[in-house]
């Protein structure tokens, strides 16, 4: 039986991070946080735009939108609060010349040779209960692969970036974690001798296979560079000096989903997290974050008096608070903080909008106890309050088997 790590109710947990083995890697082997339908939607929005627009994604994740925009010759900017995702999005949207790609392919072969001939090893990542994530022989292989990358390509640069992206693919392929719909679980139990043999084969091919897929993707990269910034969507003026004509983004939803939680294996291996508590701190800075310390801080959080909340949101918050004496207040604060942050983002975003700018927010509603939180209506009403001339709510799809949970494209013209 798999061991379930979290069994907390996560109303309307979205599908993006249902990492299962390699399912989280797009066609070119880049890690992806959004499902295929969302990537298609972004491409549809971009496909009928002529000219060279300034396109912004203020919650860029792995940079899928910036990549699509740059591929079409637009001037793309992206912002994310997570430094690992900023690194990955930069690697994903960079321009690689043929010589760099050939050098990376040669290095990948050397890394593989060195790792399988017992070369230097790196320390295992300081993630809690590391053997739950990787069986010891897989962990040993990954330590030797990472050790070989650090020895053969120690300096930051495009070749090291490409090797590390390939390493990210390999480390998730070899992990015991399955990110299922409602929870994350670990495969347990002893594998049969035959399974272990197959696993071994897959393992010794895995870094080189990953590198081949990543390099194929990198060769197809855009001719125009996208700029990816480490920053906070609640204060975009700090990261961006230019305005935008078109904004397309998929912000976090108010559904208690933690991106950091899902990204921990990569972030610990690559040194973006050093202690468990770092994950909680970063989640507290992330909108909608709910991991570790982020949840306990909600108990005493209070919102800023300037924030605009429509009346129906106040009613929904009161219902959530009254639904449960034990966790009603924390959950109501969680939802209130999500929209307080959203308001800060929208006010800072509207200051950067160029005349007639168009914005698309791909968002989902949620349910806490019996109370529906109509995220799409709140976005629409906040956008109107920020000066939008016109808005439209387009229903994209029903989210899962739960009634009333949908995803929407909230469109506004500023």
Beta strands 366-368 and 371-373, pairing class:
antiparallel
CA distance 64 to 233: 17
Q: 371, 316 in Cβ contact below 8 A?
A: yes
Restricted to residues 143-182, the positions that interact with ligand SAM (CB under 6 A) are none
Residue nearest to ligand SAM according to CB distances in the complex:
61
- Which CB atom, from 56 or from 353, has the smaller least distance to ligand SAM? 56
d(CA 395, CA 294): 31
Q: Considering only the stretches 131-139, 231-239, 328-336, 387-395, report the one whose residues sit in contact with ligand SAM under the rule CB under 6 A.
A: 231-239
Among positions 59, 133, 272, 379, the unique one binding ligand SAM when judged by CB under 6 A: 59
Q: Is 250 in the site for ligand SAM (CB under 6 A)?
A: yes
Q: Are 404 and 366 in contact (CB under 8 A)?
A: no
Stretch that binds ligand SAM, among 56-64, 100-108, 127-135, 160-168 (CB under 6 A): 56-64
Task: Give whichever of 63 and 328 is closer to ligand SAM, judged by the CB atom.
Answer: 63
- In whole angstroms, the minimum distance from the beta carbon of 94 to ligand SAM comes to 16
Q: How far apart are CA 373 and CA 317, in angstroms?
A: 9
Least separation in angstroms between residue 235's CB and ligand SAM is: 9
- Per DSSP, the chain holds a count of helices (H) and strands (E) of 14, 12
Instruction: Report residue 57 CA to chain centroid gap.
Output: 13
| CB 345 to ligand SAM: min, Å | 7
Asked if 64 touches ligand SAM (CB under 6 A), the answer is yes
What residues contact 253, with CB distance under 8 A and at least 6 apart?
12, 14, 288, 363, 364, 366, 375
Give 89 or 412: the residue with its C-beta nearer to ligand SAM. 89
State how far the Cα of 202 lies from the Cα of 189, in Å rounded to an integer: 19
Minimum distance from CB of 65 to ligand SAM (Å)? Answer: 6
**Does 80 contact ligand SAM by CB under 6 A?**
yes
Taking a C-beta distance cutoff of 8 angstroms, is the pair 114, 148 a contact? Answer: yes
Provide the minimum distance between the beta carbon of 291 and ligand SAM in the complex, in angstroms, as a whole number.
Answer: 12
**How many chain residues touch ligand SAM (CB under 6 A)?**
23
- Residue 214's closest CA among 150, 173, 167, 148? 167
92-104 in b/e form (b: 16+ CB < 10 A) is bbbebeeebbebb
Show the binding pattern over residues 259-288: x = contacts ligand SAM (CB under 6 A), - = does not.
x--------------------------xx-
Q: Which residues bind ligand SAM (CB under 6 A)?
A: 16, 33-34, 59-62, 64-65, 79-82, 85, 232-234, 250-252, 259, 286-287
């Amino acid at each position: 039986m798999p061991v379930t790590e979290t069994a907390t109710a996560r109303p309307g947990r979205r599908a993006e991070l249902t990492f299962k083995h390699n399912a989280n890697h797009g066609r070119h082997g880049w890690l992806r946080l959004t499902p295929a339908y969302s990537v298609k939607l972004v491409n549809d929005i971009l496909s009928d735009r002529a000219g060279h627009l300034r396109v912004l994604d203020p919650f860029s994740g792995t940079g899928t939108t910036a990549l699509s925009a740059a591929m079409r010759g637009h001037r793309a900017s992206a912002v994310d609060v997570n430094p690992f995702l900023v690194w990955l999005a930069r690697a994903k949207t960079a321009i690689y010349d043929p010589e760099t790609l050939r050098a990376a392919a040669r290095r990948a072969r050397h890394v593989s040779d060195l790792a399988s001939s017992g070369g230097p090893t790196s320390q295992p990542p300081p993630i809690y209960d590391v053997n739950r994530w990787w069986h010891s022989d897989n962990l040993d292989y990954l330590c030797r692969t990472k050790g070989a990358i650090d020895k053969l390509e120690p300096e930051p640069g495009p070749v090291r970036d490409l090797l590390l992206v390939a390493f990210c693919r390999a480390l998730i392929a070899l992990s015991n974690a399955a990110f299922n719909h409602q929870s994350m679980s670990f495969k347990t139990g002893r594998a049969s001798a035959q399974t272990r043999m197959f696993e071994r084969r897959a393992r010794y091919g895995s870094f080189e296979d990953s590198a081949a897929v990543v390099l194929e993707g990198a060769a197809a990269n855009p001719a125009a560079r996208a700029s990816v910034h480490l920053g906070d969507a609640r204060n975009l003026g700090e990261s961006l000096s230019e305005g935008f004509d078109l904004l397309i983004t998929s912000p976090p939803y108010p559904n208690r989903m933690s991106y950091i939680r899902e990204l921990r294996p990569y972030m610990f291996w690559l040194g973006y997290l050093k202690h468990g508590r770092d994950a909680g701190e970063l989640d507290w800075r992330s909108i909608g974050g709910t991991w570790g310390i982020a949840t306990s801080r909600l108990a005493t959080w209070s919102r800023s008096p300037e924030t605009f909340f429509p009346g129906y949101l106040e009613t929904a918050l009161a219902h959530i608070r009254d639904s449960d004496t034990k966790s009603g207040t924390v959950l109501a604060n969680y939802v209130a903080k999500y929209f307080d942050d959203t308001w800060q983002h929208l006010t800072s975003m509207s200051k950067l909008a160029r005349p007639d700018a168009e914005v698309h927010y791909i968002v989902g509603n949620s349910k806490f106890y019996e109370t529906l939180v109509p995220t799409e209506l709140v976005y629409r009403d906040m956008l109107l309050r920020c000066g939008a001339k016109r808005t439209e709510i387009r229903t994209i799809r029903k989210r899962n088997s739960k009634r009333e949970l949908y995803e929407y494209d909230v469109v506004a013209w500023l």
